[in-house]
Structure 1
Amino acid sequence: MDPAWIFAYVLLGAGTGFMAGLFGIGGGGIMVPALTLLFIAQGFEAEYLVHLALGTSLAAIVPTACASVFTHHQHKAILWPVVVRLVPGIVVGTFAATFVAAYLPPVFLALFFSAFMFLVAAQMLLNRVPSPANQLPGVLGLSAVGTAIGGVSALVAIGGGTMTVPFLTWCKVRLPSAIATSAAVGLPIALAGAVGYAINGASVLGLPERSLGFVYWPAVVCMAAASLFTAPLGARLTHRLPIPLLKCFFAALLVALALQMLWTVLTG
């Protein structure tokens, strides 16, 4: 692979890793539109660009999530009983949604992705967090919530933090613990999603060399290697710095990337 592409993937992985650790998100909001642009520039088959970006993003999130979880666990901020109750539904929802995504056209996936990113950005900019008047639900309730989070996460290639963090804070969980718990939840989402996209793209023709289904491994390796160094840095800052201004910048970035995603797919 050309050194220029290697550098581009490493740079992308470094940025998304830092954001993943800082906000408890998977980084798909940044990776998917950026990967789509990079894949177009490399001349990959247009029909499966978004699918390939989604699967590659989820696979790259796995090591990022591991590094982020380890750092948050050192701060004893992860609510492991909550994670255990969310995981069964998350795995089912994520894996099932990859089978749905395999049959959806790229334009629909791009529209769904962009609409979701706009909602996330609006929530960040408006800072509209529901009044913490609710308690965490029981096992069945958390499993149902996990299934919904996993399903949406697979369709937009996120670690689930954009839904998990607001849900936990709504249930009276402190923000640092919500972010840390969300990071732990992101790991099974990424694993189930990556496996699902790999399986569903296994029989597809015209994918680039060194791909396993809808997972392009050269990009995964480069991004993951960089994110392993930057994800712990972001996770440490979560427990040291106020992040309202950073949230505003991140929200603005999400809007820009969502618009770029729409432009790339609709005009490509």
Structure 2
Amino acid sequence: MTVTYVISGFAVGLLVGLTGVGGGSLMTPLLTLLFGVSPSVAVGTDLAFASITKSAGTLTHRLRNTVEWRVVRLLCAGALPAALLATLALKELGAISKEIGQIIRYCIAISVLLTVVAILFRARMLAWLNAHPEKQLQGRALDAATIITGAVLGVLVTISSIGAGAIGATILVMLYPRMSPAHIAGTDIAYAVPLTAIAAIGHWWLGSINWELLGTLLVGSLPGITIGSLAAKAVPEKLLRGLLAVTLTAVAAKLML
């Protein structure tokens, strides 16, 4: 089983490197559906996994100066308190009970479907926004929307471990359409580091992290992400994203059923 986890980590890392879609959209459903890991443990382990891998990504983007730190602070102002409150709610409700596990399973399915929407319609939403500049938020309204976005993503990520990748990046594109793709990616990764770290600490407190599983996943994922990032330009992006969208839709349907 250990070898299987390493291979799974490699496959997820490879896809993340190729497509840029957050690992949670792939890893959490994989652990739940294929390996029978309980939803709570799958979420907690994936959050710890994400906090480590995204830290390395943030360092790279910082060196390239592709992080908008002011936006990161606004997102964290909403996301971090929301993550703490969501953790306390899980503790109160019983994070590893069968009933809460089923609710988390449904939350994962909804988050996966939101990821599919982000993958398929991001370009169209951006094109519409560029065609209607009067719809773009400015000033305090933009700051408030960014904080609220952080809060929503904080709850979503803490409960399902999904949201800080494709969904977060898509919302950033909508809020900041003039921000370059590199800065969108860097900012999205940078704010996700403290968010996933706090959420992971919360799940450690709840007892829903499998550390042995985490180690084996990292062994496979780190080289997978590296290879995928290097090969990204050689693979047709539309084909990959289309296959990914179909796969994630099937995963969401399976989780709901």
TM-score by length of 2: 0.80
In the TM superposition, what whole-angstrom CA distance separates every residue of 1:45-87 from its partner, at most 9, and x where no partner exists?
A: xxxx111111111111122112222333344322223213322
Question: Which letter does structure 1 place at the counterpart of 2:221?
Answer: S
**What CA distance in whole angstroms lies between the structure 2 residues aligned with 1:256 and 1:105?**
23
Question: Which letter does structure 2 place at the counterpart of 1:30?
Answer: L
**What CA distance in whole angstroms lies between the structure 2 residues aligned with 1:60 and 1:218?**
12
Say yes or no: does 1:70 pair with 2:59.
yes
Residue in structure 2 matched with residue 108 of structure 1 by the alignment: 103
User: What is the aligned counterpart of 2:30 among 31, 34, 37?
Assistant: 34
Say yes or no: does 1:89 pair with 2:78.
yes
Say yes or no: does 1:154 pair with 2:120.
no
RMSD in angstroms over aligned alpha carbons?
2.7
Q: Which moved more, 1:62-71 or 1:130-139?
A: 130-139
Q: Which moved more, 1:75-84 or 1:148-157?
A: 75-84
Where is the helix percentage greater, Structure 1 or Structure 2? Answer: 2
How far residue 137 of structure 1 moved from its aligned partner, in angstroms, is 5.3
Q: Secondary structure of the equivalent of 1:179?
A: helix
Q: Secondary structure of the equivalent of 1:76?
A: coil
Q: Secondary structure of the equivalent of 1:129?
A: helix
Unmatched 5+ residue regions in structure 2?
94-98
Percent of aligned positions with the same letter in both sequences? 25
Are the counterparts in 1 of residues 80 and 195 from structure 2 also a CA contact under 8 Å? yes
Residue in structure 1 matched with residue 114 of structure 2 by the alignment: 119
Q: Which moved more, 1:182-191 or 1:68-77?
A: 68-77
In the TM superposition, what whole-angstrom CA distance separates every residue of 1:137-195 from its partner, at most 9, and x where no partner exists?
A: 55544322211111111122125123221122112122332122212222122101111
Q: How does 1:143-222 map to 2 (within 5 A)?
A: 143-158=147-162, 160-170=164-174, 171-172=176-177, 173-200=179-206, 213-222=207-216
Are the counterparts in 1 of residues 108 and 162 from structure 2 also a CA contact under 8 Å? no
Question: Which letter does structure 2 place at the counterpart of 1:122?
Answer: V
Q: 1:33 to 1:96 in 2, by over 3 A?
A: same
Say yes or no: does 1:259 pair with 2:248.
no
Are the counterparts in 2 of residues 94 and 193 from structure 1 also a CA contact under 8 Å? yes
User: What is the aligned counterpart of 2:241 among 233, 242, 247?
Assistant: 247
Question: Which letter does structure 2 place at the counterpart of 1:144?
Answer: I
**What CA distance in whole angstroms lies between the structure 2 residues aligned with 1:240 and 1:177?**
22
Question: Which letter does structure 2 place at the counterpart of 1:188?
Answer: P
Are the counterparts in 1 of residues 46 and 161 from structure 2 also a CA contact under 8 Å? yes
Aligned residue pairs total: 240
In the TM superposition, what whole-angstrom CA distance separates every residue of 1:216-265 from its partner, at most 9, and x where no partner exists?
A: 011111112322223344455668977333221221221122233334xx
Are the counterparts in 1 of residues 80 and 154 from structure 2 also a CA contact under 8 Å? yes
Q: 1:180 to 1:233 in 2, by over 3 A?
A: farther
Residue in structure 2 matched with residue 56 of structure 1 by the alignment: 45
How far residue 29 of structure 1 moved from its aligned partner, in angstroms, is 1.4
Are the counterparts in 2 of residues 114 and 259 from structure 1 also a CA contact under 8 Å? yes
**What CA distance in whole angstroms lies between the structure 2 residues aligned with 1:95 and 1:235?**
33
Residue in structure 2 matched with residue 204 of structure 1 by the alignment: none
Are the counterparts in 2 of residues 55 and 198 from structure 1 also a CA contact under 8 Å? yes
Are the counterparts in 2 of residues 26 and 65 from structure 1 also a CA contact under 8 Å? no
TM-score by length of 1: 0.77
Are the counterparts in 2 of residues 67 and 231 from structure 1 also a CA contact under 8 Å? no
